[in-house]
């Protein structure tokens, strides 16, 4: 039976009982005194008092019923309010996801523009055409001996093979991202990672920078390699998401990249539009390149630093540093090779270098630590960070290797 019909039946029965009792009270008032010799007024008082008591009881029962109904209505209203809140949250979530999708779409468009620039450079920067099947890969792999000084004596066919391998790796996505840890001392716990690129041949032969850099530099492809590495670093940060929020990735920017009028303005624009990357990325510049920058390029970097990005100076050859000037360039890290820092070729005590940098909020990183005996000396100097083969070699990024990064 429905709630409405049940209420109607209750009201009907209540009236029926009321009128029955009223009739009974009237009858008792008229009949009982003639049989019991009781005063009619007394009988009427008792009869109508009982009737009044019933009416009061009936009102109380109805009041309780009404209270229960009101409580039920309040619960229903609360339930509807909760459902409304949940629906509002879903709508807000849909709107937020829509906004995020719009942002992701904008990021993808900007990233595709950067990639288009890079792919255009891959083919256009060198006069050597892509060849397949006639590359002397063994000779390329022996190119570890190819230094800048030796390049003049490099056979033209080997130089052409090296360029073909590099071009093919760029156009066919065979440039892998490698990571080397920078550890905190004395715990040796990885704190940051430096990013490196490694080129693979057609049959996945790993070709190291020293085997192709001199030739790639002369052909103009080195800037494209650097730019692709920057792009891969950005992809890595996006895939990592909120995991390990304090980990930073150091990515080298060569002078070829900074002076690239096609790429670098796009890169600055992209970074400025994605300032959330500033918490993760640190851009490295060799000391010689920083000192040689013209005013226009330096202003570009300062503008990037003003948006929250930090820089690192590496390949330091002179420890005569001006920490206040470095701070004005947004340099927050300085890497000095352990051999230079601990050797006898500098006339400044390493502890003084560390202290002067620290006063300006700049961390000193001892680089290329390749001898375990250097570690106690670095600890004596209170050096906080170090990098080198002692703590870990560059290793293939797990996602490039086909597994998830933890």
Do 217 and 136 have their domain in common?
yes
Res 53: pLDDT: 73
Render pLDDT for 45-74 as a digit per residue (tens, 0 to 9): 766 677 677 776 767 666 666 566 666 666
**Would residue 367 count as lying in a domain?**
yes
Query: Domain span at residue 76?
Result: 3-91
Torsions phi, psi for 338 (to 5 deg): -60, -40
**Would residue 119 count as lying in a domain?**
no
Torsions phi, psi for 156 (to 5 deg): -55, -35
Do 33 and 131 have their domain in common?
no
Q: Helix or strand or coil: residue 322?
A: coil
Do 130 and 52 have their domain in common?
no
The single residue listed with the structure tokens 């996505």 is: 173
The Cα–Cα gap between 341 and 361 comes to 19
Do 17 and 158 have their domain in common?
no
Res 352: pLDDT: 93
Which range in 100-109, 157-166, 390-399 is most confidently predicted, on average pLDDT?
Answer: 390-399
Tokens of 9: 């039946």
**Would residue 98 count as lying in a domain?**
no
Render pLDDT for 153-192 as a digit per residue (tens, 0 to 9): 556 666 777 777 777 777 777 888 899 999 999 999 999 9
CATH of the domain at 244: 3.20.20.450
Tokens of 85: 């809140």
The Cα–Cα gap between 357 and 387 comes to 18
Res 144: pLDDT: 41
Report the phi/psi class of residue 117: left, alpha or beta, with left for phi > 0 and alpha for psi in -120 to 50.
alpha
Q: What percent of the chain stands above pLDDT 70?
A: 61
In terms of DSSP H, where are the helices of 125-195? Answer: 137-141, 156-171
Tokens of 225: 């390699």
In terms of DSSP H, where are the helices of 259-322? Answer: 264-272, 287-292, 295-306
Q: Which of 30-34, 148-152, 255-259, 360-364 has the lowest mean pLDDT?
A: 148-152
Render pLDDT for 338-370 as a digit per residue (tens, 0 to 9): 999 998 888 889 999 999 999 999 999 999 999
The Cα–Cα gap between 379 and 377 comes to 5
Which value, to the nearest 10 degrees, does the dihedral of the CA atoms of residues 167, 169, 173, 174 take? Answer: -170
**Would residue 107 count as lying in a domain?**
no
Render pLDDT for 211-221 as a digit per residue (tens, 0 to 9): 777 777 777 77
In this structure, the strands spanning 310-314 and 395-396 are: unpaired
Do 206 and 162 have their domain in common?
yes
Render pLDDT for 258-306 as a digit per residue (tens, 0 to 9): 777 777 777 777 887 888 889 999 999 999 988 888 888 788 888 888 8
Res 35: pLDDT: 66
Do 231 and 342 have their domain in common?
yes
Do 36 and 136 have their domain in common?
no
Total of domains in the chain: 2
**Would residue 32 count as lying in a domain?**
yes
Do 289 and 162 have their domain in common?
yes
Do 155 and 230 have their domain in common?
yes
Res 392: pLDDT: 94
Last residue of a domain, one of 91, 110, 135: 91
Do 129 and 86 have their domain in common?
no
**Would residue 337 count as lying in a domain?**
yes
Res 338: pLDDT: 95
Task: Give me the sign of the Cα torsion angle 54, 58, 59, 64.
Answer: positive
Do 80 and 130 have their domain in common?
no
The Cα–Cα gap between 122 and 208 comes to 19
The single residue listed with the structure tokens 């209203």 is: 77
**Would residue 113 count as lying in a domain?**
no
Do 82 and 132 have their domain in common?
no
The Cα–Cα gap between 376 and 372 comes to 8
């Amino acid at each position: 039976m429905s709630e409405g019909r049940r209420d109607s039946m209750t009201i009907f029965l209540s009236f029926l009982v009321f009128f029955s009792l009223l009739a009974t009270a009237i009858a008792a008032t008229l009949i009982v005194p003639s049989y019991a010799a009781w005063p009619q007024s007394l009988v009427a008082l008792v009869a109508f008092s009982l009737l009044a008591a019933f009416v009061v009881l009936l009102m109380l029962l109805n009041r309780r019923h009404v209270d229960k109904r009101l409580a039920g209505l309040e619960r229903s209203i609360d339930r509807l309010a909760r459902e409304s809140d949940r629906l509002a949250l879903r709508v807000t979530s849909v709107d937020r996801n829509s906004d995020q999708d719009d942002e992701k779409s904008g990021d993808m468009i900007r990233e595709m523009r950067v990639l288009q620039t890079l792919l255009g450079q891959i083919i256009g920067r060198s006069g050597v055409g892509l060849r397949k099947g006639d590359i002397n890969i063994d000779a390329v792999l022996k190119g570890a001996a190819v230094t800048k000084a030796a390049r003049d004596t490099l056979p033209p066919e080997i130089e052409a093979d090296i360029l073909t391998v590099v071009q093919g790796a760029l156009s066919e996505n065979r440039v892998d991202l490698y990571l080397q840890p920078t550890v905190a001392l004395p715990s040796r716990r990885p704190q940051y990672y430096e990013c490196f690129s490694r080129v693979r041949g057609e049959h996945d032969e790993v070709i190291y920078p020293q085997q192709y850099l001199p030739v790639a530099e002369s052909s103009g492809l080195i800037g494209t390699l650097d730019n692709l590495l920057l792009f891969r670093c950005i992809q890595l940060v996006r895939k990592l998401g909120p995991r390990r929020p304090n980990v930073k990735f150091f990515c080298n920017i060569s002078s070829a990249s900074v002076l690239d009028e096609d790429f670098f303005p796009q890169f600055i624009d992209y970074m400025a539009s994605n300032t959330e990357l500033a918490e993760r990325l640190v851009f490295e510049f060799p000391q010689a390149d920083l000192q040689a920058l013209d005013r226009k390029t330096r202003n570009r970097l300062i503008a990037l630093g003003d948006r929250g990005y930090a820089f690192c100076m590496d390949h330091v050859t002179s420890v005569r540093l001006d920490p206040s000037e470095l701070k004005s360039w947004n340099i927050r890290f300085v890497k000095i090779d352990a051999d230079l820092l601990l050797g006898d070729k500098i006339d400044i005590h390493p502890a003084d270098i560390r202290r002067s940098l620290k006063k300006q909020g700049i961390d000193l990183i001892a680089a290329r630590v390749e001898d375990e005996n250097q570690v106690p000396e670095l600890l004596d100097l209170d050096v906080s960070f170090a990098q080198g083969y002692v703590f870990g070699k560059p290793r293939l990024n797990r996602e490039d290797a086909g597994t998830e990064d933890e």
